Amino acid sequence: MRHHSIIGLFFLSCLMLTACTSGTQVPESTDTPTIPPSTATSRPTFTSSPAPTNTATPIDTDTPEPTLTFTPAATLSPTPTQFLGFEDASVYKAFAYYNETIFHFIVPYVASPYYGTVDGVPMTCELEEGYENALLCRAQGDLFGTDIKSFEFYADEARTVLVYRGDFSTTLDVLPPTPTPFGFIWPRADYTTADITWGVTPPGCTERGVNLSCEIEYRKYNDGSCLVGQSCWDSCGFYYSVDTIKDKTGNWEPSGPCW
């Protein structure tokens, strides 16, 4: 009986619950539920960066240092110390040949060779070996015909450094005497046959001794000796010479015949 009471109470409870539920309906909510923001720290977005481009590092190119170009300094012709020896110079003998003219100068204290001109013709001068104050000058061509000639002396071969300009007597206007073919011209000085040199007669020449002429130079030395140098030519060319000067050294001066 007790069990029937309990079962009855159970069913009664269920009926009452059903009635309550069907009588009042709970309206459905139309609000969209708000989702609270996530409190989780967002992960960083990795933006892909372009891979670095390998830029070629410039290699130092050795820039050559400028090469020093040495410009040679202009060659200056030496300016000689003023030389006054030509102020007291003189021509003591001159010889004119068919292709050359020779001048023997006495020039006090001359100590170096010179270049020059005579009447505009180029001339070279050198010290006479073995003699003091003596200058031997040579010019091309036969300059016979006039006594007074104009000379210029230069210190350099280019003839730009003028040392002296002046006129000198050369006696190149005097013709030597023309002896007969049977005679000879001998110097007025002491000599021996060993001092005579004879020329060779060219083949076919029949005029040996014709138009004989000689160039004679007398020298008087400080030791008192008087020596001679003589050369003679004729229509055949060189004929003979007399030379007692040879290798004689020492101071001397031109002179007339020794006796």
- pLDDT of 74 > 60? The answer is no
Expressed as residue numbers, the domain containing 108 is 85-169
pLDDT value for 129: 83
Asked if residue 9 belongs to a domain, the reply is no
Which of 68-77, 82-91, 93-102, 127-136 is predicted with the least confidence, judged by mean pLDDT?
68-77
Same domain, 108 and 161: yes
Same domain, 159 and 197: no
Q: What is the pLDDT of residues 11-39, one digit of tens each?
A: 655 556 555 444 445 445 445 455 555 45
**Model confidence, pTM:** 0.44
Asked if residue 77 belongs to a domain, the reply is no
Number of domains in the chain: 2
pLDDT value for 75: 52
Q: What is the average pLDDT across 216-226? A: 93
Same domain, 162 and 95: yes
Asked if residue 96 belongs to a domain, the reply is yes
Q: Could you say which of 169, 203, 237 is where a domain stops? A: 169
Residue with tokens 């180029």: 122
* Whole-Å CA distances, 257 to 83, 84, 188: 32, 30, 5
Q: CB-based contacts of 126: which residues, under 8 Å, 6+ apart?
A: 113, 135, 136
- pLDDT of 73 > 60? The answer is no
Domain CATH number, residue 161: 2.60.40
Q: What is the average pLDDT across 152-178? A: 88
Secondary structure (3-state) at 225: coil
Q: What is the average pLDDT across 166-185? A: 74
Q: How many Å apart are CA 215 and CA 70, to the nearest integer?
A: 56
- pLDDT of 56 > 60? The answer is no
pLDDT value for 58: 57
CB burial string 156-167: b at 16+ within 10 A, e below: eeebeeebbeee
Asked if residue 112 belongs to a domain, the reply is yes
Secondary structure (3-state) at 183: coil
Mean pLDDT of the chain: 78
Asked if residue 24 belongs to a domain, the reply is no
